[in-house]
Structure 1
Amino acid sequence: MTEKFVPSPELAEQGLYVAYAALSTMAVVPIYFGSFASLKKWKNPKDKKSKKKKPEDSDDSSDEDEPSESMSMEDAYMFPVFGSITLFGLYLVFRFVDKTYVNYLLTAYFGLLGVMATTQVGVNCVAPIVKLVGINVDKWHLTLTKKRKELYSAKFTILHLIMMVASVLLSAYYVATKNWIASNLFGICFALNAIQLLSLDSFKTGMILLSGLFLYDIFWVFGTEVMVSVAKNFDAPVKVIFPRLFFGLPAGEAYQFAMLGLGDIVIPGVFVALCLRFDQHLAGTKNPNLGRSTRFSKPYFTACFIAYALGLGTTIYVMHTFKAAQPALLYLSPACILSVIFMGLVRGEIKQVFAYTSEEGIEAAKAKEAEEKKNKKEAEEKKKKESSPSTTKVPALVKEDSTVAEKNSSNSDSEQESNSTRKTRKRRGGKSQKKK
């Protein structure tokens, strides 16, 4: 029986430093590139009333932005609530159900998501190289309709097909082996896609979200065993991991991993991306022809990105010192929020910071208002239809009643006339009798 390998304290310490550096790199790289990927082409507000693109021109345009999902203030308030329900639900599932079967289901689910995520990231990485080389790639547009109603629309190129095949092979390899490197690739791709496609509509929303998850992390890590238990049993690429001892570990020995959850990357990441879009907004108001250029001053993005790196370093330092798991958002949330407030105060732009609403947020608010008006109009029309049968009967009844009343009044008038004529005749008869 072979003895278990026990590394020397110096070797274990060096291994941890390598792991911490690797985790930090896998955290900041998706945030940096995901933030720039979230930038849309700056549009001059004065040009909104100018010529609009024709549908046929927009279909073949290569200068289009990926659609993004905007998070509103209501969503930010409810995010910790739904997160808590999901987390506690997973805890109960792992406690009362065999985790092997649960992880089979999770593996299949995240394997499918991984194919889509790695395909998109792969296309984003390869497309600029292909364009730089000068290769023209044809674009196909697939549309599914039913009775003239569009159900699904997708635009793709040969690059999407190639990267999809590579992603399927990578996903199959991960499902078969659960290799930690493949798991990290999926995790990084998930983070990149989330930061690119999920946007906050304002700094108020971002601060509410970070503050809510600040309390969420403290409660579920320090107050209960739920967070740590789920993280240990959850065998899916929702975290980035790295061996605590990578160099110097004998062959055949199992790795012990240090980990960082994707939530500690994505949630602060979308806030950092918001800072970059705000920098673009400030630059675009001064230079309406900014377009897709990224050569503009980035004070808020730089401050928040550095604050995130310092907050992550603080998390690792405290975790290493006390040898206990730490809720990363305990340090990351205040760091990101305070960096923006501090920069706004220093630059005298704090009112602009809190008044800012992203273009996606404005469009989402308009869409919501239009939907509310539509629902209100439909409700009013429905109400009118429900009340229309009774209203149509009332005039008929009134008409009938008025006709009866007219008949009664005419009869009474004729009776009054006959009585009056009788009286006059009697009077005339009496007078004639007197004359005689």
Structure 2
Amino acid sequence: MNTSHPKYITVADQRSERAWQWTESEDALRTYLIFFGFLLAGELPFVRDVRFADLPYFVGLATITIYIGAHRGLTNKIRQQITLREGALAPVAASVALFGGYLLIKFFPDLSLQRFLNIYFWLIGSIAIVGNVAPPLRRAAGELGECTIPLTFPEGWLLDDDGNSIRETSIAPSDIAAVLLGLGVATVDLTCNHSSFTLNNLIACLIATDILQLLGLKSFKAAAVMLVGLAMYDIFWVFGSPKVIGDNVMLAVATSDILTGPTRLLFPRFSGSLGEGSAFPFSLLGLGDVAVPGLLACLALRYDASRATDMRARALAAADALKDSLASMQAGATDREIAHAAADAAEAAFDEVADAELAHRVSTQGGASASPFAVSDAVLHQRTYFVPTMLAYVGGLGIAFGVNAVTHLGQPALLYLVPATLSAIVVVGAFRGELMRVISFVDSPSPAVEKALARQNAKE
């Protein structure tokens, strides 16, 4: 089934007609401008001199990062999904990585891995900057954002989402500017050894948006298991490790100068601060405290997208049908015949889009990524679960910083963020009477991912 509206097109039609992309929308341009505004605000001296200024700074950067990653992922066809089993193993893998880093810091203080890390962060930082900046820069650049520069690639060098080789493509002049900007910023950050907290935060946030775009939770069940497990991981390594190991492992790794890079958000510590980690010159928020709840917010937005009603698509389909009906009427038709024919055509076209949406919801239980229909901007006005999840994230982060200010002890942020965000999903689902539908929701893998998995299984 296919309608005349360009935002409700089948996957096959997307090759010939361009689907809606959030990264090319006005909403994306505004969001990136706000993001860069927060980064620049942190450089203002009078902002740094305000006590507790780190809270709104971190809240702003974290929420915008999640917002960007979630909306970029809406139309991303290639997404690695985290299953229930993988979610259960995540705390174990995180613990091994964290404790391994701690052992390196504790027993091999002269071992330098920084050169390798610098190359790694320079590479992924450059990619993250280019990937985030290029689309909105195209929109803002006007004619310079149009694809006018042809490129030719050898067979197999460049693949599309379905794994097919692309021999010819084109880029915009603004894309070249984005590449130069990405390489330049990553190089400056490397040259100053990650000492600029603003550059560090820029690269860290954009890397996090890539993570949220490329990774996804398969279901809310997997989300609950993984988030609760990682909250327990966070609690143990912050509160339990001093009693078991004799040292706060999480704090030791987070404030180490041996392993540095854009793995945390930083803000200059207020003069005279007390408590754990006060010798470290920055307040910090771990990137995991952004990415982990962010994965839940991304899943909430994809659920919203699967339930969104695109009234604009229905109206435009009806309008097109009305126009076609009037154009095909016989010259001698009466006013009554014209009115009835036009009304019937408009109603049929309207219902066709509505039936397609309903069939999709029933067949997928809300799963959106395997839908034969393109995501439209209707989701921007129907974020029923995403917005409460984000508000809960802000509240949980505020509580974490409040407890830290009172106790002067480092806090496992996930202790507050996980209950807050999961509760938001449960409360909204219960209030709307669709909690079981939310629990049974499965975000189906995209066709491209299914093909890749099939090829991998065939090789094995």
TM over 0.5: yes
Match of 2:260 among 232, 235, 242: 235
Aligned partner (choices 431, 436, 439) of residue 351 of structure 1: 436
The answer to whether the aligner puts 1:211 opposite 2:228 as a matched pair is: yes
SS at match of 1:214: helix
Shift of 1:135: 3.4
Give the direction of change, closer, same or farther, for the CA distance of 1:229–1:138 in structure 2 (3 Å limit).
same
2:137 aligns to what?
A: 126
CA distance change for structure 1 residues 228 and 163 in 2, over 3 Å: closer, same or farther? same
Match of 2:401 among 310, 316, 320: 316
Distance 1:137 1:315 in 2: 50
Alignment CA distance shift 1:19-1:365 (3 Å): same
Whether 1:272 aligns to 2:287 is: no
Contact 1:66 1:197 in 2 (8 A): no
Cα distance in 1 between the residues matched to 2:263 and 2:127: 15
Write the deviation string for residues 211-233 of structure 1: whole angstroms up to 9, x where unpaired. 11011101111111211111111
2:99 aligned to which of 88, 94, 98? 88
Distance 1:282 1:112, change over 3 A: same
| Deviation for aligned residue 1:97 | 2.0
What is the TM-score when the length of structure 1 is the normalising length? Answer: 0.68
Paired with 1:18 and 1:71, the residues of 2 have a C-alpha distance of 35
Deviation per residue, 1:260-281 (Å, 9 max, x gap)? 0110001111110110110111
Counterpart CA distance in 1 for 2:286 and 2:386 is 22
Q: Which has the higher helix share?
A: 1
Cα offset, 1:140, TM superposition: 4.0
Deviation by residue 1:65-108 (Cα, 9 ceiling, x = unmatched): 45222222222111111111111111111122235723333222
Q: Distance in 1 between matches of 2:281 and 2:181?
A: 29
**Secondary structure, aligned partner of 2:293:** helix
Distance 1:30 1:138 in 2: 31
1:184 to partner: Cα distance: 1.0
Residue 39 of structure 1 is matched in structure 2 by 74
Q: Which residue of 2 aligns with 1:173?
A: 188
Give the counterpart letter for 1:226 in structure 2: V
Select 2:376's aligned residue among 286, 292, 297.
292
Per the alignment, in what secondary structure is the counterpart of residue 274 of structure 1? helix
Question: How far does the alpha carbon of each residue in 1:39-59 deviate from its partner, in whole angstroms, 9 at most, with x for none?
Answer: 12xxxxxxxxxxxxxxxxxxx
What is the aligned-residue RMSD (CA, Å)?
Answer: 3.2
Instruction: Measure, in 2, the Cα distance between the counterparts of 1:77 and 1:153.
Output: 38
What SS is found at the alignment partner of 2:267? strand
From the superposition, tell whether residues 282 and 240 of structure 1 become closer, same or farther in structure 2 (CA, over 3 Å): same
Please tell me whether the aligned partners of residues 255 and 280 of structure 2 are also in contact (alpha carbons under 8 angstroms). no
Structure 2 partner of 1:30:
65
Return the alpha-carbon distance in structure 2 between the equivalents of residues 215 and 232 of structure 1: 21
Aligned mates of 1:13, 1:318 — CA distance in 2: 21
- Say whether the 8 Å CA contact 2:137–2:145 is kept in structure 1: no
Asked whether the 8 Å contact 2:138–2:175 carries over to 1, the reply is no
Counterpart contact for 2:78–2:449, Cα < 8 Å: no
Deviates further, 164-173 or 78-87: 164-173
Write the distance in 1 (CA, Å) between the matches of 2:120 and 2:387: 36
Separation in 2, partners of 1:156, 1:38:
23
1:222 pairs with 2:233:
no
Residues in 2 aligned to 1:365 and 1:211: alpha-carbon distance in whole angstroms: 28
Change in CA separation of 1:308 and 1:368 when aligned onto 2, cut-off 3 Å: same
Q: Does 2:84 correspond to 1:73?
A: yes
Out of 171, 193, 197, the position equivalent to 1:157 is 171
Offset, 1:141: 6.2
| Contact 1:195–1:269 (8 Å) recurs in 2 | yes
Indicate conservation of the 8 Å contact 1:118/1:189, yes or no. yes
The 3-state SS of whatever aligns with 1:240 is: strand
| Rg larger for | 1
2:146 corresponds in structure 1 to 135
Distance change >3 Å, CA 190–CA 270, structure 1 → 2: same
Deviation of 1:164 (Å) = 2.0
Structure 2: how far apart are the matches of 1:151 and 1:295? 32
Equivalent position amino acid for 2:376 in 1:
R
User: Is this contact kept in 2: 1:94–1:102, CA < 8 A?
Assistant: no
Distance 1:175 1:331 in 2: 34
- Cα distance in 1 for partners of 2:125, 2:426 equals 36
Helix, strand or coil for the counterpart of 1:145? coil
- Give CA-to-partner distance per residue, 1:337-378, whole Å, 9 cap, x none: 111111111101011101111132787578657865x47xx8
1:17 corresponds, among 49, 52, 75, to 52
Partner secondary structure for residue 156 of structure 2 = strand
Asked if structure 1 preserves the Cα contact closer than 8 Å seen for 2:78 and 2:448, the reply is: no
Q: 1:194 aligns with which of 211, 236, 240?
A: 211
SS in 1 for 2:255: helix
In structure 2, what is the Cα distance between the partners aligned to 1:156 and 1:259? 41
Q: Are the counterparts in 2 of residues 243 and 255 from structure 1 also a CA contact under 8 Å?
A: no
Q: Residue 138 of structure 2 contacts residue 144 of structure 2 at CA under 8 Å; is this kept in 1?
A: no
What CA distance in whole angstroms lies between the structure 2 residues aligned with 1:143 and 1:204?
44
Q: 1:119, CA displacement in angstroms? A: 1.2
The CA deviation at 1:160 is 3.7
SS in 1 for 2:74: coil
Give the TM-score taking structure 2 as reference length: 0.65
Give me the whole-angstrom Cα distance separating, in 1, the residues matched to 2:217 and 2:284.
Answer: 27
CA contact (8 A) 2:79 2:449 kept: no
Structure 1 unaligned blocks of 5 or more: 1-10, 41-64, 247-253, 379-436
Q: Counterparts of 1:240 and 1:123 in 2: how far apart (Å)?
A: 23
Give the match for residue 339 of structure 1.
424
Relative distance call for 1:185 and 1:157 in structure 2 (3 A) is: same
Letter in 1 for 2:183: V
- Rounded to whole Å, the distance in 2 between the matches of 1:170 and 1:76 is 34
The question of whether the paired residues in 2 share the 8 Å contact of 1:144 and 1:151 is answered with: no
* Letter paired with 1:319: N
Is the aligned partner of 1:105 residue 2:116? Answer: yes
State the distance in 1 between where 2:445 and 2:150 align.
26
Separation in 1, partners of 2:54, 2:101: 28
